Amino acid sequence: MTDDTHPDFTPAPDDVVWDLPGDGPQRTSLLVLPHAGGNAHAYAEWRRYLPADVRLLIGQYPGRGARFAEDLPRTIADLAGPVVASLPAGTTEDLVVLGHSMGSLVAFEVVRALQTAGRTPRALVASACRAPFLANPCAVHPERLDDDELVAAIKARGGTDDGILDEPELREIIVPSIRADFAIDDVYRCEESAARVDCPVTVIGGDADPVAPAASLDRWAEITDRAFATHVLPGGHFYFQQQLPAFFSVLGPVLDPARAPGGPVPASAAA
């Protein structure tokens, strides 16, 4: 096993980016970047909601899964950089990058990095998040909270299995990465002049989300001169959890521009 305390340690690419292809030739790749405190496992079920010709890629951040022994992230670059470096060959030829909550900011930085390298993705999808040039209006301040207070704050947002948070041994494992992610999310802000991407942007949110209110989502339009669309679905910060078919019905035209908006969910999404 590689010594991950070595300064030159680099995680295995398939530990950083999970690769879950569908059956047959892969037309498009969808890269998903998890929320603060989240991990790749939380999004693996998305595979069954995607068409067979869409390759699902999911970022796994330091401090969780096979990357558990790595140093915890301290900046947004610690989250985005390894993902960019670990993308499977050929995936940027027709790549859609999607993030949820803090993951939207990571997705934005991934797109910017790929753009700088001359590999601009086809589209960026931001879910339940402020525009990257805005200050965080719902900072958690994990440095001020003990573990119980931090867990209470996480439960209030949803998105994490309360059973895990209530199990002392499991909580001890996951709370450090949650602290690290929220510390990054609290302070992240891209200079407005630099907050630009050269691809279409789609933003999706919940109509009752207190963290990223629906009325604020249109600010993402300011980062692109390409096509822009906003979609608001019923629900809170993790609005999609109870309505994945509706969520993927919105996402479908982004993955396949030839598909008419509001079209049927792909057959592979059937229960």
* Cα–Cα distance measured from residue 129 to residue 204, given in angstroms and rounded to the nearest whole number: 9
**Please, are residues 61 and 127 in contact by the beta-carbon 8 Å criterion?**
no
- Whose CA is closest to 28, among 266, 227, 211? 266
CA–CA distance from 159 to each of 42, 116, 246 (Å)?
9, 33, 18
The Cα–Cα gap between 68 and 73 comes to 11
Catalytic residue among 29, 86, 101, 127: 101
Q: DSSP code of 159?
A: -
Q: Which two tokens stand for residue 225?
A: 């001169």
d(CA 32, CA 99): 6
Q: Are 239 and 24 in contact (CB under 8 A)?
A: no
Set 29, 104, 237, 249: catalytic member: 237
State the distance between the two ends of the chain, measured CA to CA, in whole angstroms: 40
Amino acid (1-letter code) at residue 18: W
Give the Cα separation of 255 and 149 in Å (integer): 39
For residues 85 and 83, give the distance between their C-alpha atoms in angstroms, rounded to a whole number: 5
| Catalytic-residue membership of 268 | no
- With vertex at residue 101, the alpha carbon angle to CA 96 and CA 105, rounded to the nearest 5 degrees, is 60
Residue 127: active-site member = no
CA distance readout (Å), 125 to 68, 120, 129, 252: 27, 14, 11, 12
> Catalytic amino acids?
101, 237
